[in-house]
Amino acid sequence: MDISTLEPRLAILRHCDAAKVVVLEVNESQPWVPGGYDEVIHISEVDYIVENNKYKIPEIPPEMSTELDERIAEHIVNLIEDEATIQLGIGATPNAVGSLIARSGLKGLGIHTEMFTEGMIDLIEAGVVTCRKKTLHPGKAVHAFALGSRRLYDFMDHNSMLAGFPVDYTNNPQIIAQNRRQVAINNAIRVDLTGQICSESAGFRHISGTGVT
Question: Residue 62, Cβ neighbours under 10 Å: how many?
Answer: 18
Q: Which residues, 6+ apart, have CB-to-CB distance to 201 below 8 Å? A: 189, 207, 208
- For residue 115, give the 3-state DSSP assignment: strand
Going by DSSP bridges, is the β-strand pair 205-206/201-202 parallel, antiparallel, or unpaired?
Answer: antiparallel
Q: How far apart are CA 78 and CA 97, in angstroms?
A: 10
Four-CA torsion 156, 29, 115, 14, nearest 10 degrees: -90
**Active site annotation includes 114:** yes
User: What does each C-alpha distance from 135 to 16, 36, 44, 139 come to in angstroms?
Assistant: 29, 15, 36, 10
Dist. CA 21–CA 91, nearest whole Å: 36
Q: Which of 46, 130, 125 is nearest to 85 (CA)?
A: 130
Catalytic residue among 114, 118, 125, 200: 114
Catalytic residues, which ones? 114
